[in-house]
Structure 1
């Protein structure tokens, strides 16, 4: 077993560590608790991105359409008042600088991914609607993942409405974007899938999976974290091998004897370590597999 030693090491890590690793368009080579659910953190933005592209191609607004940048959103809890998100918890101040102005949908989608903008995410969810995001998960064949609310919709959270992912479902969604195909049909057109890959390759928060790869390695990825949760989901494009999928989801208990900052650093390093070991085994990972090509090779 290629990753037997790594599996044994992960057995000693507290919490739930889920992994999906394998070539595009083929069954995975290694999985570990890949169907376990985790709080999604910012990985849910992958489904929002796909929902926006699909909507634009099926009669919705063009990606060039400008919308007002506001900080007032409809709660997923039907009886709740509108909610807003906090600037201090957002990784991207650029979108906040446009409050009261207009911005095109494509630009908001880019900021949602490359800087993980929470404000842009809520604006796009408000625009496409949560049912459109749910349709993306369904088309990708996701079994357990759900995007039930926007970011910082605390009324919905208190009502038990959450955002959940599994490593397997994130891999299915990323694979659908990278190959342009699912059993239910394409997520978006080849051009749309290629555009999504370009945005994911432009990721500026190059942590987690990216930190376990040699400098300059091309990858299309999205990560996400909150207290006790650290995830990374990527398509990796080695120069010397076929591309592969790697998704790592970690949920770590926060004990009284450990600061959340320490847990986050440890989890980030763990994801990077897993990525490094999968990279070392990349030739075995994709051996005897012939995955279909991506819509086009991204220039990351």
Structure 2
């Protein structure tokens, strides 16, 4: 039986939407669904409990996604194991497709669904930014930025060994080689982007900070020996290739580069001080 672990910190506005989508059209014992409410001060636990016995609820006072995931592992009953962020939308058919990729005749160790980013209500700079971001090779092939990662038992052992990191989904994606992971084209997750420029920058500051933390850990673990650590950073060559393929992207590329520069500059203070705990939350994407 696939286990679905949902870490949730103050997600009463979004969790019900996800659970309703997951439970629609499923048998009572088809999935093991576990919501781990971590450090919640709102009604997240009540929202989860309202969906009945098919959803188990575990609570911890510690507001940590990493600890919530590990706590979920201690309560989860089966594999494949699917980790799902509380603010996305994923259906039962999508879970089945992910599980099939991990258990079929040619299984991989980790999988994620195709992402759909609805742009309704987003400002034009946000739309321009994601017009570029979604075309980047690392974004198209990586498992990060989807709010969902599914792993087999063997794959789980690999990500369970990862240290606590802000960029947990990026670290999990990079833990697997190309042939060990896949994006399942028959599965889809709805990931709501930020609606405003301010919230986009908050997300990008978080991304810049968390990427710096990951790269610092990679350097520390590879100290004293040569390293070719995997990376998902975007290079100028990637952007030039996009522009050659589609010259109409030029205005959007200017927006993309501006966002990247502003976020990296704003992230410097946190990186210098080693502040990898402050989570800059985007609330605009959680609005109905």
The TM-score bracket by the shorter chain reads under 0.3
Greater fraction of residues in helix: 2
Larger RCO, structures 1/2 (Cα 8 Å, 6+ apart): 1
TM-score using structure 2 length: 0.28
